[in-house]
Amino acid sequence: MAAFRILAWVLVAVAIALLGADGVSSLETGEPVMRSTEFVLSLIGIDGAALAENSPGGVSQAIGTIMSLPLWGVIGIVGVVMTLIFRPID
């Protein structure tokens, strides 16, 4: 359980770092910058569009929706849900 708690807080920290990176990029360019999950995955060599296209049926639509969301939101939601699930019980 402790390992999942640590992983959850790491995911929250990564989400905050990604949000900060979008904020800094927005300040630099003077217009809002929101990096999508697909864009960030393409930076590390994963083709998110091909992943969504090659998935079956409704899964394809779900993955396509996730790929269009900002990555900090996707990771942040997973991290917050994990912190709520794996919190210590008194």
Residue 88 placed within a domain: no
> pLDDT of 42-59, one tens digit each?
999 999 889 888 989 889
Residue 89 placed within a domain: no
Neighbours of 15 (CB within 10 A): 21
Question: The domain containing residue 50 runs over which residues?
Answer: 2-83
In this prediction the pTM is 0.85
Closest CA to 78 of 2, 12, 6: 12
Residue 77 placed within a domain: yes
Closest CA to 25 of 66, 79, 67, 72: 72
Tell me the DSSP string of the chain.
-HHHHHHHHHHHHHHHHHHHHHHHHHHHHSS----BHHHHHHHTT--HHHHHHTS-HHHHHHHHHHHHSBHHHHHHHHHHHHHHHTPPP-
Average pLDDT value over all residues in the chain: 93
Residue 90 placed within a domain: no
Residue 33 placed within a domain: yes
> pLDDT of 17-42, one tens digit each?
999 999 999 999 999 999 999 999 99
Residue 19 placed within a domain: yes
Q: Per the structure, how many domains does the chain have?
A: 1
